[in-house]
């Protein structure tokens, strides 16, 4: 799958600029991080690394893509050598990243990329979109799962996702965030995520009688049957489902007052001698509504969450940025920072040192425990070195498990559905602060 052009044009004009300036051999270090945690979030669950790695390992430009670039006015003055270089471009750099499923915080790098300038610049757009999106959805999923207090949550949102492909990826990220699975079949095949689903209203409406719609579904799905009971009248639908009885998994409600209806539905099922029949609720749910339903003791066993999960509706974008922090060129090594009025950055490659109750953001070269004291976990690890994958990435089940364990270690305040001040402390190490001051004074001549 060609991917070279899936980037902002300026990445390519800048690349041409580096080429023309004879700077191909210079190596830059970029970091990807989120400036501020979004609305109501006290952490971000990192996700999307596997796809980012796949992109880097396959980065290339086809002849058609290069011909297109040559046709653009922005490349009218660019020499042939640039396009030749582009046609041979492969990623030969290094990638360090936190493992997928790691909770991280504002200012902490998800990844550090060190490569020749052009190879470091072109991936910016793709990495931001892929990692930003999956991390946003994994975070949302973790919130929804937390609100469900042990009940299963299934991701049902592809139809409202931002394009079909976003739906496929949302299913993956939601699973990492703790969902039991997804309705997206492609996500199942491509990423090994469990898939769920039985029938919709159109199934019920396609039969003249609801009972017949249920009977046929049961014949097909047996113990996987979930009767959708609200097409005409929820309680009447439940009675018809209960008459057919076993085998069944349970019933699904997609509308109405879910607290009252699920209680009434539970009674119908129990009275019919079907205490094991489960109740799934769907229909514009999110972590806030699930929190209320659970608090109201609505007898719901599984939540299906669609639009709100696949679009992270209450915080539909993540302010991820990708900033140059170091540069090694002909004239030696430099640390770079941005001093725009409202957008300062910290210089130099960093490491996240995680302690049981806080993080320290330090320089990648420092060793906080070398002089004694507790030994923190260093979260950024090598993933690609000199263009080669260091070791196979963990499978998705392992990532999901790691996410659950990592989230469980966070204090309760971090996992609140609402913003908590100082939920997690991120210190800047004295060494990193010192570097910042030095670089800042050097720049502000």
Stretch 239-268 residues interacting with a second copy (CB under 8 A): 254-256
- Per the DSSP assignment, residues forming a β-bridge with 334 are 327
State yes or no: residue 87 binds a second copy (CB under 8 A).
no
Would you call 59 exposed, middle or buried from its count of C-beta atoms within 10 A (0-12, 13-18, 19+)? buried
Q: How far is the CB of 56 from a second copy (least distance, A)?
A: 13
> Between 23 and 358, whose beta carbon lies closer to a second copy?
23
DSSP-assigned letter for residue 98? P
Q: How far is the CB of 28 from a second copy (least distance, A)?
A: 7
Tell which positions 343-372 bind a second copy, by CB under 8 A.
Answer: 343
Note whether 338 and 444 are within 8 A (CB).
no
CB of 167 to a second copy, least distance (A): 5
Rank residues 71 and 391 by Cβ distance to a second copy and give the closer one: 71
Applying the rule CB under 8 A, the residues between 212 and 231 that interact with a second copy are: 216-217, 219-222, 224, 230-231
State which residue, 235 or 294, has the beta carbon closest to a second copy.
235
Residues 313, 307 contacting (CB under 8 angstroms): yes
**Are 228 and 203 spatial neighbours (Cβ–Cβ below 8 Å)?**
yes
196 is a contact residue toward a second copy (CB under 8 A) = yes
Residue number with CB closer to a second copy (273 or 319)? 319
Size of the site for a second copy (CB under 8 A): 111
Where b means 16+ CB within 10 Å and e means fewer, 279-298 reads: bbbbbebbbbbbbebbeeeb
Residue 277's closest CA among 247, 239, 310? 247
Which of the stretches 99-107, 291-299, 337-345, 419-427 binds a second copy when contact is defined by CB under 8 A? Answer: 337-345
Cβ atoms of residues 274 and 303 within 8 Å: no
Write down the least CB distance from residue 368 to a second copy, Å. Answer: 28
Stretch that binds a second copy, among 106-114, 168-176, 348-356, 379-387 (CB under 8 A): 168-176
Cβ closest to a second copy, residue 263 vs residue 358: 263
Binding track, positions 1-40, relative to a second copy; x by CB under 8 A = ----xxxxxxxxxx-xxx-xx-x--x-x-x----------
Shortest Å distance, C-beta 126 to a second copy: 5
* Residues between 54 and 73 that touch a second copy (CB under 8 A): 64-65, 68-69, 72-73
Nearer to a second copy, 230 or 359 (CB): 230
Q: Using a CB cutoff of 8 Å and minimum separation of 24, what contacts does 82-85 make?
A: 82/15, 82/16, 82/19, 82/20, 85/19, 85/24, 85/118
Helix (H, G, I), strand (E, B) or coil at 28: strand
> Which residues are CB-contacts of 143 (< 8 A; sequence separation ≥ 6)?
41, 287, 417
Q: Which of 313, 389, 404, 410 binds a second copy (CB under 8 A)?
A: 313
In which element (H, E) is residue 118 found? helix 117-121
Residue 95 · residue 112 · CB < 8 Å: yes
Asked if 395 is part of the footprint of a second copy (rule: CB under 8 A), the reply reads no
Q: Which of 40, 106, 198, 264 binds a second copy (CB under 8 A)?
A: 198
CB of 153 to a second copy, least distance (A): 16
- Residue 285 or 423: the one with the smaller Cβ distance to a second copy is 285
Total number of residues shown for the chain: 445
**Mutual orientation of helices 124-147 and 164-176 as an angle, nearest 10°?**
50
Member of 42, 47, 49, 78 binding a second copy (CB under 8 A): 78
Nearer to a second copy, 11 or 413 (CB): 11
* Contacts to a second copy from residues 94-153, by CB under 8 A: 117, 121, 124-126, 128-130, 132-134
Closest CA to 39 of 316, 225, 300, 263: 316
């Amino acid at each position: 799958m060609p991917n070279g052009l899936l980037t902002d044009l300026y990445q390519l004009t800048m690349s041409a600029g580096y080429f023309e300036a004879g700077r191909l051999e210079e190596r830059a270090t970029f970091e990807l991080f989120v400036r501020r945690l979004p609305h109501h979030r006290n952490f971000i669950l990192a996700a999307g690394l596997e796809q980012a790695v796949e992109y880097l390992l396959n980065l290339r430009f086809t002849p058609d893509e290069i011909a297109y670039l040559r046709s653009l006015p922005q490349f009218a003055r660019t020499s042939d050598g640039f396009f030749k270089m582009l046609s041979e471009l492969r990623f030969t750099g290094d990638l360090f990243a936190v493992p997928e499923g790691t909770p991280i915080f504002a200012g902490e790098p998800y990844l550090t990329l060190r490569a020749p300038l052009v190879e470091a610049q072109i991936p910016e757009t793709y990495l931001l979109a892929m990692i930003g999106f999956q991390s946003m959805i994994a975070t949302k999923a973790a919130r929804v799962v937390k609100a469900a207090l042990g009940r299963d949550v299934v991701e049902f949102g592809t139809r409202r996702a931002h394009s079909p492909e976003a739906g496929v990826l949302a299913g993956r990220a939601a699973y990492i965030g703790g969902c039991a699975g997804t309705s997206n079949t492609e996500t199942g095949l491509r990423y090994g995520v469990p898939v769920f689903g039985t029938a919709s209203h159109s199934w019920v409406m396609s039969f003249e009688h609801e009972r017949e719609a249920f009977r046929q579904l049961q014949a097909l799905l047996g113990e996987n049957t979930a009767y959708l009971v609200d097409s005409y009248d929820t309680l009447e639908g439940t009675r018809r489902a209960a008459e057919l009885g076993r085998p069944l998994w349970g019933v699904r409600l997609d509308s109405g007052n879910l607290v009252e209806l699920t209680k009434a539905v539970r009674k119908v099922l129990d009275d019919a001698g079907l205490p094991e029949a489960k109740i799934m609720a769907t229909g514009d749910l999110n972590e806030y509504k699930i929190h209320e339903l659970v608090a109201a003791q609505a007898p719901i066993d599984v939540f299906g969450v669609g639009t709100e999960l696949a679009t992270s509706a209450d915080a539909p974008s993540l302010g991820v940025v990708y900033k140059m922090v170091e540069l090694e060129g002909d004239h030696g090594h430099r640390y770079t920072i941005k001093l725009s009025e409202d957008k300062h950055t910290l210089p130099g490659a960093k490491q996240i040192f995680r302690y049981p109750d806080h993080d320290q953001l330090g320089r990648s070269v420092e060793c906080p425990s070398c002089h004694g004291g507790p030994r923190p976990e260093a979260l950024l690890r090598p993933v690609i070195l000199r263009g080669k994958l260091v070791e196979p990435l963990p499978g998705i089940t392992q990532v999901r498990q790691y996410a659950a364990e990592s989230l469980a270690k966070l204090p309760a305040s971090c996992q609140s559905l609402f913003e908590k001040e100082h939920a997690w402390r991120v210190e800047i190490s004295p060494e990193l602060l010192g570097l910042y001051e030095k670089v800042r004074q050097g720049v502000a001549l």
